[in-house]
Amino acid sequence: MKSDLEKEKKEILNKYHGLLRDCSRRELTKKQKKVIRKAFDVALEAHKDMRRKSGEPYIYHPIAVARIAAGEIGLGTTSVVCALLHDVVEDTELTLDDMEKMFGPKVASIIDGLTKISGVFDSTSSLQAENFRKMLLTLSDDVRVILIKLADRLHNMRTLEVMRRDKQLKIASETLYLYAPLAHRLGLYAIKSELEDLGLKYTEPDIYKLIQKKLTDSKQERSRYISRFTIPVKESLRDQNIKFQIKGRTKSIFSIWNKMQTKDVEFEEVYDLFAIRIILDSYQKEEKADCWRAYSIVTDFYKPNPDRLRDWVSTPKANGYESLHTTVMGPKGKWVEVQIRSERMDDIAEKGYAAHWKYKEGSEASALDQWINRIQELLENPEPDALDFIDDFKMNLFSDEIFVFTPKGELITLPAGATALDFAYEIHTQIGNQCIGTKVNRRLVPLSSELKSGDQVEVITSIKNRPKEDRLKYVITARAKSKIKASIKAEQKKAAVDGREILERKLKNLKINADVANINKLLQFYGIRDSQDLYYRVAIGNLDLKKLKEFTQEQGSIKTSPTKPKSGKSLEELVKRTRGKSDTLVIGEELQKIDYKLAPCCNPIPGDDVFGFITINEGIKIHRVNCPNAIQLMSNYAYRIVKARWTNQELIAFLAGLKITGIDDMGIVNNITKIISTDLNVNMRSLGFDSEDGVFEGTIMLYVHDTTHLTDLITNLKKVKGVSRVERIH
């Protein structure tokens, strides 16, 4: 036992020295070393009796988070101190006041921000969303809060294997839903990729292992190809006295999986498995010219694809990313992506804004500051529904950018997919609200027209115009959506004043007082959440006020209201009844009395890894763990998820779909259907085959008993001559 403790002490010191090495890239002063040592000692003492799920001393975690902050994000001493202490206030007796006394107000403020957002994903969806808004608000105080939070999440993901399966799924889903896009938006490419890969490792373990194995098997072949591709380029760069280094970077497992899904191709068909990166040692003033010189050299040897040139050197992305990308035809007829950038650009691409600060000149506002201001603007308006806000915001995190121009030639950056109406709101809220039409490249277009890079946009306005609900369908940016909702709310507020007068007159005629108690009874009766909504509905004639005559009253107070049909079981009762004593929902014979349905979005069948989701109106819906909607459900509504497993099924048939592709041949459809109905006694519900240029594609909906039954069927179908692919469809 003693020797184990000695080993642990030694290991803790090793990790601490590793942290100092990670920090020393910034040349630490004696004072800085002293404050890091002090933070380490405080954290070590505070967490001395605590252990992680793996059984390791808890202090391993804060040291690891501090190492990620220093070594992988490139943050300085203050951040390292905060990373070491990030769990102290939440998990031990020490308070924020103690932190301030020991380390000063800045450290205390960052730790306060970290403590506030540690519960971003909590028991209820709206709370999560509210906390998420709070988390983003702390961005404006100090972006380091978010960067340390990302380091914390990365270490948790790296050590996730010791957690229970349901915990792994929840944490991995949140990571893919929110943290990876946030890292992407802050320009932390390396961390974003690792978070995505680790998220996939736990949400789709089989797919992750398969792609990982295929990458390992093809590694040597890739290295040989990269070497062959770069030899002439290197020689030419040296001849022109350009200082450079060349790296071959393999696509992340998550991006490969994403490509396989979006393009509907197999691993072997993903052509851009790797990119070649040319990193130039340039002075900042000469970077742009040097990048184009290198581009010219590459295209002397390999023909470029004109549609695949991306110039983020002239117009960097909103997250600060600068690089020149081109796709060229390499040896053996393979397309190869080449990325050309300077060392400064590479630093920013890998470490995001932490590196940006190193190069920032004077008082010029960086794109990050503009981004934070934009978020602040969105958050200051508390009207939009918080969950909508997360979804809108998340969508804007993921999107690529387009660059469009005002009539005066000013450049405006918008997310890809933005419309002419989004552009109007980007210019000014009032212009968006008063917009009645738009011209793109001098031609009148609908407000919903999607803009493309290089478009010049003019907005036509009218003072009388007010946005209506349907305008929400014409925009994709979070800014435009929140402004439209705010404007509609303001209009509703105005209408509610008239509605209040109408209702009060009506109540007066019926000798009912318009006091708070009576209004609350009306809200309950009509099923409306607040009085403003009630008055608004009265104003637009959306409520049946004739019902008021059926209310009985005594001395102006409502005594009883007309009876309404009783609704079914409440959500709480359903949860209690479903969960029973254990926390597992068993699907099968024991659940016949409970109202549950199989979700149509993923059609689970016995044998699939599943979970139950408690809906408000339709009882429990059973989803597959890899259902397209699972990540969002698990992230936003964790409190409504119930674990589920199948019990032995009687021979009940479940609907499943198959997609079959192959070479069109005489009698192939007959051979396929013969196997399905005759050899395996399977009933088909629908069958569709389409043939083009000698290739056929068929979709079959059929009834199977479980995953084993389906797997056998797929195996037998693959044996049919001419069939190249058989896969299950969602």
Distance between CA atoms of residues 670 and 652, nearest Å? 27
Sheet with 457-461, edge to edge strand ranges: 443-445, 435-440, 457-461
CB 16, CB 124: distance < 8 Å: no
Residue showing tokens 């609907």 = 655
The tokens describing 461, both together, are 């306005």
Taking the C-alpha atoms of residue 93 and residue 89, their distance in angstroms, rounded to an integer, is 7
Residues 584 and 645 sit within 8 Å (Cβ to Cβ): yes
Burial of residue 369 (number of CB atoms within 10 Å: 0-12, 13-18, 19+): middle
Please name which of 627, 653, 219, 48 lies closest in space to residue 613, comparing C-alpha atoms.
627
Q: Who's near 657: CB < 8 A, 6+ residues apart?
A: 603, 699, 700, 701, 702, 728, 729, 730
Containing 262, the helix (H) or strand (E) segment is helix 253-262
Query: Do 36 and 84 contact (CB within 8 A), yes or no?
Result: yes
Give 201-208 contacts, CB < 8 A, sequence gap 24+: 201/172, 201/253, 202/160, 202/168, 202/169, 202/171, 202/172, 203/169, 203/172, 203/173, 203/176, 203/625, 203/626, 203/630, 203/631, 204/257, 204/626, 207/257, 208/253, 208/257
Residue 693 backbone class (left: φ over 0; alpha: ψ -120 to 50; beta: rest): left
> Hey, what are 585's tokens?
């929902």
233, two tokens: 């380029």
The candidate with the shortest Cα–Cα distance to 725, out of 697, 683, 684, 689, is 697
Starting at the earlier edge strand, list the strands of the sheet with 695-704: 683-692, 695-704, 654-663, 723-729
Coil, strand, or helix at residue 323? coil
Active site residues: 90-91
Rounded Cα–Cα distance for residues 384 and 129 (Å): 11
